[in-house]
Amino acid sequence: MPIRVMLVDDQELLRTGFRMVLQSQQDIEVVAEAGDGVQALEVLAVSEVDVVLMDVRMPRMDGVEATRRICSAAGTAEAGPRVLILTTFDLDEYAFAALKAGASGFLLKDVPPAELVAAIRAVCGGDAVVAPTTTRRMIDRFASVLPSSQPPLDTPELARLTDREREVLLLIAEGLSNGEIAFRLSLSEATVKTHVGRILTKLELRDRVQAVVLAYETGLVRAGGGQ
Q: Is there a contact between 210 and 223 (Cβ–Cβ < 8 Å)?
A: no
Answer whether residue 89 shows pLDDT above 70.
no
State pLDDT tens for residues 166-197. Answer: 999 988 877 777 888 899 999 998 899 899 98
Per domain, the residue ranges of the chain are 3-130, 143-217
Residues 47-75, buried b or exposed e (16+ Cβ, 10 A)?
A: eebbbbbbbbebeeebbbbbbbbbbeebe
d(CA 97, CA 117): 24
Mean pLDDT check: name the lowest of 151-160, 166-175, 210-219.
Answer: 151-160
Decide which of 138 and 21 is more confident. Answer: 21
Q: What is the CATH number of domain 143-217?
A: 1.10.10.10
Q: What is the CATH number of domain 3-130?
A: 3.40.50.2300
Q: What is the pTM of this model?
A: 0.67
The predicted pLDDT at position 56 comes to 86
| Mean local confidence (pLDDT), 99-126 | 83
State pLDDT tens for residues 122-152. Answer: 888 777 676 555 566 666 665 555 554 455 5
- pLDDT over 90, % of the chain: 32
- pLDDT over 70, % of the chain: 79
